[in-house]
Structure 1
Amino acid sequence: MNPHEVNTVRALLAEPQQAVIIPHKNPDGDAMGSCLGLYHFLTKLGHNARVVAPNDYPKFLKWMPGNNSVLIYEKQHTEAQALLDKATLVFTLDFNELGRVGPQMEAALKQVTAPMVMIDHHQAPASYAKVTYSDTSMSSTCEMVYRFIESIGSTSIIGEDIANCLYAGIVTDTGSFKFPSTSSDTHRIAAELIDKGARNAEIHNKIFDTNTANRLHLLGCALKNMVIREEMNTAYITLSQEELDMYQYKKGDTEGFVNYGLTLDGIKFAVIFIENREEGIIKISFRSVGEFSVNEFARNYFNGGGHKNAAGGRSERSMEETITYFESLLEKHKMELTS
C-alpha cells in the first residue's frame, strides 16, 4: 500500500465502524481465509465487523475460526441486506469487479453509500473503491491482508485465529506453495503465521485430506474424460450435469481437478468444463505454465479473467458447442502453445 492509501484507511478506522466484508461468489480458500482473517483483525480493533458471502462455499473451508458468524446473502437475504444498509465501511476481498458477486448482490452493492476498500491480487481492477489495494505480484489475497495489517497497524495483533485463516488462504492459492507466484516473502509470511499459532499440518489435513468416496469416484470420471491434445500441448476435462449427479456432487468437489492436466509431461494448458444446468452455463477453469496467459484467453473468449496462469470463465453454449468453439481457439493460438 502507498502512504496515501495507508493514511486513508487509518482515518477510516480511527472511529468505530459497522464493517461488512465481502468475498466473490463461490468463495474459495483465499476468499474466505482473507475475509475471516480481516474480520478477526477489525473485531480486535473494536469495530463491529461481519462477513457476508454471496453464496455458500465448500464444507472443507467451514472449520475456519469465525465461520459460524458468516451470513450467506443468497440464503439469509433479509439479514444480510440489513447489514449492507447500515454499513459505514465495506471491504471487498479477492475480487476487483462488482460483477464477481453475482447479479443479485451486485445490484445491492451498487446501492451502498459507504466507502469501499478493495484488497485483491487479480489483474485489471475496476475503480469502484475509495481505496484500491491491488498487487498482482502477490501469491494470494491472504498475503495482502497480512501486508495490510502490517501497514496500518502491527502484526503483533495477529493471534491464532487470524493466523489460521490467513495461512489457509495462502496454502490454497499457492497450490501448497508450488505455484510461480509463491515468493520468498510468501514463505516468510507463512512462517510468521505458524509462529503466531497457525496449525499448518492440521490446516493441510482439513483442506486437502477430507475426501468422500463420491468425490474420488468423480475424480476418476473426470480423468477418464480427459482429452489430451499433444500437438497443442493441451489437456481438457469435461463433466456433464449427469456425471455430477451420478456422484452426488457437492460444492467444492471439483476443486483442483483442472490441475491434473498440467501434471502430464509437455502439457502447457489445462482446462476443465463443468456443466451447471441450474444456471444454464458451462463453468470453465483455465490453468497454464510458462508464458501462455489464461487471463487474456478467458477475458477474450469466455467472459472471465484472473491471473496469468490461473483464470476462470463461462459459456452459455451447450457443452458440445463450447468444446467445438474451444477447439477452434486452440488452432488460433497454436503458435503460442507450441513455441
Structure 2
Amino acid sequence: MESASTILTPAEFSGLNHALSLSGGKVIICHVSPDGDAIGSSLSLLRVLRAMGHRDVRVVTPDMPPQSLGFLSGIREITVASQHPETVRRLLSSAGVIFCLDFNEPRRVDRLEEALSGSKALKVMIDHHLNPDPFADIIVSRPEVSSSCLLLYNVLVDLGLAGYIDMTVAESLLTGMMTDTGAFSYNAKDPGIYRVVADLMERGADKDRLYKILFDTNKESTLRLHGYALAEKMTIYPDHKASVIVLDSDELQRFCYQRGDTEGLVNKPLSIPEVAYSVFMRQDEPEFIKVSMRSKGLFPVDKLCKEAFGGGGHLNAAGGEFYGTLDAAIAHLLEKMPEFDCYL
C-alpha cells in the first residue's frame, strides 16, 4: 500500500530537499524528557537517512529516554547529553543540518538550548505543537496532526521516501502515533490516521505487540505506585470538575521510581464521568515540579498549562513545569482553576 500525502507546501518541499542534499554531519534532536513520539520520530528519521546513504547521522537527547522504550531498534545509539555533555555540544556545533523533532522552541531541549541556538547548522523543525518559535530555517509545523511521527510519515511520503519505511521504521512511527493518542483513544478522530496505521502494518509493524509493550506491561513497583497515587494522592475538585494527583520525591523513591513509571497515570481520573480534566504533579527535584494535564471534550488544558506553568501542548494533552516547592505549585494551580470554569 502506497499512501498519498500532500502535507508539504512547495517551499517546505524545496527546503527539505535542500537540507537532504547538503553534505556534512546531520544531528537529530528531540525535547527533554523524551516520550514515544519524540524517540519514535527520531529513530525513524535516523534509519531513513542512513538507508539513503547519509552515514554521519546521530540522534541526541537532553536526558535519558524512558526504559519502556528500550525495545525500539537503534535506541542504544542515542547520545544522551546528561551523560555525555561535551560530545553532544560538539556534535551540534559541527553539524551541517540539525533536525528538530517534536518540539518547537529551543527551551524545550533544556540544557542544550544554548548549544542548539548557537550552532551555525541549517535547522529543520518537524513538529505538531502550537505556536512554533521561528528559530529554525525550515519549519514544518502542523498542530492539527496528532503526533510528530504521523507528521514525519506524511513528510517522507511527500518527499518520495516512503520506500525507506521498512518494518523497523514502521514500528518506530507507530509507537509515537500510539503513545501520543493513548492508543488512539483521544485526539484520533481523523480517518487518515487509520489509513496510515494500515500502511505501517502492511510494512511489518505489529500493532498488537506494540500495544502489549506500551500499554499492557508494567513492573510490580509501577503498579503499586499507580495504586498508591490513585488511592491516597488523588483529590477531586467537584466545583471545577478536576482531578489532581501529586507525588513528592520521597513517595517516588519509596516505589523505586524510574523515568516512565508514571506514564499514563494522568489519564486514569478521566474515566470518572464527573472529571473534565486531570492534573498530575511530580516532584523531580526539591524545587522543580513536572506538570502533566489531560482533558475530555473541549476543555483546553493547553491554555491552562501555558498560563499556569509556562508550558503547552494540545487541547486535550499538555504539560508544563514549575520552579518552586510542591506546595507552591499546588497553590498556584488552585488559584488558576476558577479562571477556567467557563470552559466546563
TM-score when normalising by structure 1: 0.95
Partner Cα separation in structure 2 for residue 332 and residue 152 of structure 1: 45
Alignment of 1:59-70 (within 5 A): 59-70=67-78
1:311 aligned counterpart, secondary structure: strand
Which residue of the partner structure matches residue 342 of structure 2?
335
For structure 1, which segment, 48-57 or 315-324, has the greater mean C-alpha deviation from structure 2 after superposition?
Answer: 315-324
Which residue of the partner structure matches residue 231 of structure 1?
239
Alignment of 1:60-139 (within 5 A): 60-102=68-110, 104-139=111-146
Which residue of the partner structure matches residue 17 of structure 2?
10
Which residue of the partner structure matches residue 303 of structure 1?
310
Which residue of the partner structure matches residue 33 of structure 2?
26
Equivalent residue for 1:255, pick from 263, 267, 275: 263
Deviation of 1:251 after TM superposition, in Å, equals 0.4
Deviation of 1:287 after TM superposition, in Å, equals 1.1
Equivalent residue for 1:164, pick from 163, 167, 171: 171
Deviation of 1:325 after TM superposition, in Å, equals 2.3
1:249-303 deviation line (CA, Å, top 9, x unaligned): 000100110001111012111101111225x211111111122211111111211
1:231-250 deviation line (CA, Å, top 9, x unaligned): 22111111111110100100
1:60-119 deviation line (CA, Å, top 9, x unaligned): 1021111121110110123222222221000000000010010x2101111110111000
Alignment-mate amino acid for residue 231 of structure 1: D
1:283 aligned counterpart, secondary structure: strand
Equivalent residue for 1:203, pick from 203, 207, 210: 210
Partner Cα separation in structure 1 for residue 270 and residue 24 of structure 2: 45
Partner Cα separation in structure 1 for residue 33 and residue 331 of structure 2: 27
Alignment of 1:270-289 (within 5 A): 270-277=278-285, 280-289=287-296
Deviation of 1:333 after TM superposition, in Å, equals 2.4
- Is the Cα contact below 8 Å between 2:300 and 2:343 reproduced in 1? no
- Is the Cα contact below 8 Å between 1:137 and 1:181 reproduced in 2? no
1:6 aligned counterpart, secondary structure: helix
The unaligned stretches of length 5 or more in structure 2 are 1-7
Equivalent residue for 1:322, pick from 314, 329, 335: 329
Deviation of 1:14 after TM superposition, in Å, equals 2.3
1:8-33 deviation line (CA, Å, top 9, x unaligned): 11122124441100010000000000
1:327 aligned counterpart, secondary structure: helix
Which residue of the partner structure matches residue 240 of structure 1?
248
Partner Cα separation in structure 2 for residue 329 and residue 260 of structure 1: 22
For structure 1, which segment, 196-205 or 267-276, has the greater mean C-alpha deviation from structure 2 after superposition?
Answer: 196-205
Is 2:46 the partner of 1:39? yes
1:81 aligned counterpart, secondary structure: helix
Partner Cα separation in structure 2 for residue 78 and residue 234 of structure 1: 43
Is 2:298 the partner of 1:313? no
- Is the Cα contact below 8 Å between 1:261 and 1:271 reproduced in 2? no
- Is the Cα contact below 8 Å between 2:309 and 2:320 reproduced in 1? yes
TM-score when normalising by structure 2: 0.94
Structure 1 residues 39 and 239, CA, compared in 2 at 3 Å: closer, same or farther? same
Which residue of the partner structure matches residue 221 of structure 1?
228
Structure 1 residues 167 and 87, CA, compared in 2 at 3 Å: closer, same or farther? same
Partner Cα separation in structure 2 for residue 294 and residue 160 of structure 1: 35
2:21 aligned counterpart, secondary structure: coil
Partner Cα separation in structure 1 for residue 153 and residue 10 of structure 2: 17
Identity of matched residues, %: 34
Structure 1 residues 176 and 167, CA, compared in 2 at 3 Å: closer, same or farther? same
State the 4+ residue runs in structure 1 displaced beyond 4 angstroms: none
Partner Cα separation in structure 2 for residue 85 and residue 317 of structure 1: 33
Deviation of 1:157 after TM superposition, in Å, equals 2.0
Structure 1 residues 17 and 189, CA, compared in 2 at 3 Å: closer, same or farther? farther
- Is the Cα contact below 8 Å between 2:89 and 2:112 reproduced in 1? no
Which residue of the partner structure matches residue 58 of structure 1?
66
Partner Cα separation in structure 2 for residue 71 and residue 329 of structure 1: 39
Partner Cα separation in structure 2 for residue 19 and residue 87 of structure 1: 6
Deviation of 1:156 after TM superposition, in Å, equals 2.0
Deviation of 1:181 after TM superposition, in Å, equals 3.7
Alignment-mate amino acid for residue 123 of structure 1: L
